[in-house]
Amino acid sequence: MSFRKDFLWGGATAANQCEGGYNEGQRGLANVDVIPTGADRRKVITGQRKMLDFEDGYFYPAKEAIDMYHHYKEDIALFGEMGFKTYRLSIGWTRIFPNGDEEQPNEEGLKFYEDLFKECHKYGIEPLVTITHFDCPIHLIKEYGGWRNRKMIDFYEKLVRVLFDRYKGLVKYWLTFNEINMILHAPFLGAGLVFEEGENQEQVKYQAAHHELVASALATKIAHEVDPENQVGCMLAAGSYYPYSCNPKDVWESVKGNRGNYFLIDVQSRGAYPPYALKELEHKGVVIEMEAGDSDILKDNTVDFISFSYYASRVAADENSGVEKTAGNLFPTIKNPYLETSEWGWQIDPLGLRITMNDLFDRYQKPLFIVENGLGAVDEVMDDGTINDDYRISYLKAHLQAMKNAVEEDGVDLMGYTSWGCIDLVSAGTGEMKKRYGFIYVDRDNEGKGTLKRSRKKSFEWYKQVIASNGENLD
Give the domain CATH number at 353: 3.20.20.80
- Residue 474 lies inside a defined structural domain of this protein: no
Per-residue pLDDT, averaged over 130-142, amounts to 98
pLDDT at 1: 61
Q: What confidence category does residue 472 fall into, taking pLDDT thresholds of 50, 70 and 90?
A: very high
At residue 475, does pLDDT exceed 70? yes
Q: What average pLDDT does this structure show over 58-67?
A: 98
Q: With beta carbons less than 8 A apart as the criterion, state whether 406 and 362 touch.
A: no
- Closest by alpha carbon to 418, among 225, 130, 23? 130
Integer CA distances (angstroms), 201 to 48, 204, 279, 284, in order:
10, 5, 18, 11
pLDDT digits (tens, 9 = 90+) for 162-194: 999 999 999 999 999 999 999 999 999 999 999
User: Which domain, by its residues, includes 392?
Assistant: 8-469
Beta strands in 21-93 (DSSP E): 86-90
Hey, CA dihedral for 176, 179, 183, 186, is it positive or negative? negative
- Mean residue pLDDT across the chain: 96
- When divided into structural domains, the chain yields a total of 1
From the number of C-beta atoms within 10 Å of its C-beta (0-12, 13-18, 19+), residue 286 rates as middle
Say if 229 falls within a structural domain. yes
Give the residue among 326, 348, 317, 308 at the shortest CA–CA distance from 249. 317
> Tens digits of per-residue pLDDT, 362-396?
999 999 999 999 999 999 999 999 999 999 999 99
- Whole-structure pTM value: 0.97
Least confident of 322-331, 391-400, 426-435, 454-463: 322-331
Give the pLDDT confidence of 39-56 residue by residue, as tens digits: 999 999 999 999 999 999
Report the pLDDT value the prediction gives residue 319, as an integer from 0 to 100: 80
Q: Tell me whether residue 223 is in a domain.
A: yes
- The answer to whether residue 263 is domain-embedded is yes
Residue-wise pLDDT tens digits, 215-235: 999 999 999 999 999 999 999
**In 3D, which of 296, 297, 327, 328 has the Cα closest to residue 311?**
328
Handedness of CA 446, 449, 450, 454 (dihedral sign): positive
- Classify residue 283 as exposed, middle or buried by CB count within 10 Å of its CB (0-12, 13-18, 19+): exposed
What's residue 333's pLDDT?
84
Whole-angstrom distance, CA of residue 323 vs CA of residue 336: 10
pLDDT at 99: 98
Q: What is the DSSP string of 254-318?
A: HHHHHHHHHHHHHHHHHSS--HHHHHHHHHHT------TTHHHHHHH---SEEEEEES--EEE--
For 117, how many CA atoms within 13 A lie in the half-sphere containing its CB? 21
Residue 175 located in a structural domain: yes
Does residue 73 lie within any of the structural domains?
yes
> Is the confidence at residue 196, as pLDDT, over 80?
yes
Closest among 172, 184, 235, 216 to 372, alpha carbons compared? 235
Given this model, what pLDDT does residue 326 score? 82
Residues with catalytic roles:
372
Is 475 a domain residue? no
With respect to residue 1, please indicate whether it lies within any of the assigned structural domains.
no
Share of the chain above pLDDT 70, in %: 100
